[in-house]
Chain A
Amino acid sequence: MGNEPIEKVSIIISKGALEGIYPGLIMANGARAEGIEANLFFTFFGLDAIHKVRHEHIKLATVGNPGLHMATWLGGFPGVSSVMTHYMATKMDKLDIPSIPEFIEMIADSGAGLYACKASVDLFGLDKDDFIEQVQDIITVGEFYERAAGGQIIFT
């Protein structure tokens, strides 16, 4: 393996919490900014990121998230996740980090492909109308690998 530049990435977003979605979006957006071809594939709870209604209400996980340095019992209190999410959103806004809906729209505008995983869509009883218009297709894992051919695959 030499040091050839990366020309294509396929990024899988599998988690539905704020901290599970942003990294994949930042990597996809950053890839396009470098002129790297990028595809985003949303699976399992990651589908919330492209769900018309839910993607505006993505929350930070306050339970089972030791990185937050908060007692688990406190994280489970009603409203704590919302408050922490709001706090994070305020900090992100100050740094001019776009909200998830805005970010996804921008990534789609940059020419990246957005796809939903068929197995998860079937599992959750969803269909194409449940997703934002930027989602190009609902594809199988086999089709994902076909689209990912010749590039790197990143699972988040």
Chain B
Amino acid sequence: MTTTTIAGHDVDVNDEGFFEHPEQWSEDMASDLARAEGIEPLTDRHWQVIRFMRKEYQEKGTGPTVRVLGKTSGVPVKELYELFPKGPAKVAAKIAGIPKPRGCI
């Protein structure tokens, strides 16, 4: 675990850059986190996914997989990969400040 500064806030992240404490996240960090993942700027569609990730995590304690995102976030799989080419669930989880989703499918 390391402590890093994002948008002026000190946050704890793991070796892969995922938040250790999702409660440390705030919306003003998202654009910096996205830029580090090569995504710029964040569009409304990105935000729809990011907010969905937060909501799922808060309700279920774990982030959704790409399949769940495709079925329930309102953004289809094809578009998810256009928005987050390096892996929608993984990258959106990082930007949303939640742990990496662990589903196999």
Binding site for B on A (CB under 8 A): 26, 29-30, 32-35, 96-98, 106, 109-111
Number of A-B contacts (CB under 8 A): 44
Find the residue from B68, B77, B89 having the highest chain A CB count within 10 A.
B77
| Residue B55 is within 8 A (CB to CB) of chain A in the complex | no
Q: Which residues of B contact A97 (CB under 8 A)?
A: 105
Question: What is the total number of residues of chain B having a CB less than 8 Å from a CB of chain A?
Answer: 18
Smallest Cβ distance from B37 to chain A, in angstroms? 10
Q: State which of A26, A32, A35, A110 has its C-beta within 8 Å of the C-beta of B91.
A: A35
Q: Are B67 and A30 in contact (CB under 8 A)?
A: no
Q: Are A33 and B70 in contact (CB under 8 A)?
A: no
Q: Are B78 and A33 in contact (CB under 8 A)?
A: no
Q: Which residues of A contact B87 (CB under 8 A)?
A: 32-35
5 CB-based A-B contacts, threshold 8 Å: A30-B105, A33-B88, A33-B89, A34-B87, A109-B70
Smallest Cβ distance from B104 to chain A, in angstroms? 6
